[in-house]
Amino acid sequence: MNIVLALVIGAAFGAVLDRIGATNPNWIIRMLSLRNLHLMKTILLAIGTGSILMFGGQMLGLVDVMHMSVKTAYVGVFIGGLMLGAGWAASGYCPGTGVCAAASGRKDGLFFIAGGLLGAAAYMVTYPTWRASGLLDKLAGGKVTLGSVPGAKYDGLMAVSGDLLGIVLGVVFVLVAFVLPERLVGDGPAPVAAE
């Protein structure tokens, strides 16, 4: 049943990504160049709403804290994040939107997925070198959160309630989504569908 639920939720999420334009690299590039912030506003609203609901649910006991998964912090994560951002800007896709684009029939989405798989294979082959470089050594104790969450097995970097901090950050994201203008730079031509 879990796999069926995951497929249904994944398909619904993919349909929403396609509907808001996240599967069109032209829209993503316009967002990243600050020429059309509609997609950015949608992303900020979704993250903010999800944060408010999740951390509020944890405070009310509706969400089990033990489901929270925190990844280990190390220098390689930050370098990988920069590489992901550069790849997102160059291709117009992040991993999720690339898969959705391929599912909607976009050929460039298939090439994006192939490139991602080749990159993952290259990382696996060179993993011992990365490990020996020290880039994968834990930072700040490894698995940490910004604030402390009661009942969680992760330490907080600040002496503040992680749930409350999550709600505050969620509210900030929602407010930014509403006050952000539609564009910060020029007009430019409307994006065209890529084949």
pLDDT digits (tens, 9 = 90+) for 7-27: 898 889 888 888 888 888 888
Residue-wise pLDDT tens digits, 76-95 = 888 888 888 888 888 888 88
Residue 35 CB burial class (10 angstroms; 0-12, 13-18, ≥19): middle
Q: Percentages helix, strand, coil for the chain, rounded to the nearest 5? A: 65, 5, 30
Say if pTM beats, i.e. exceeds, 0.75.
no
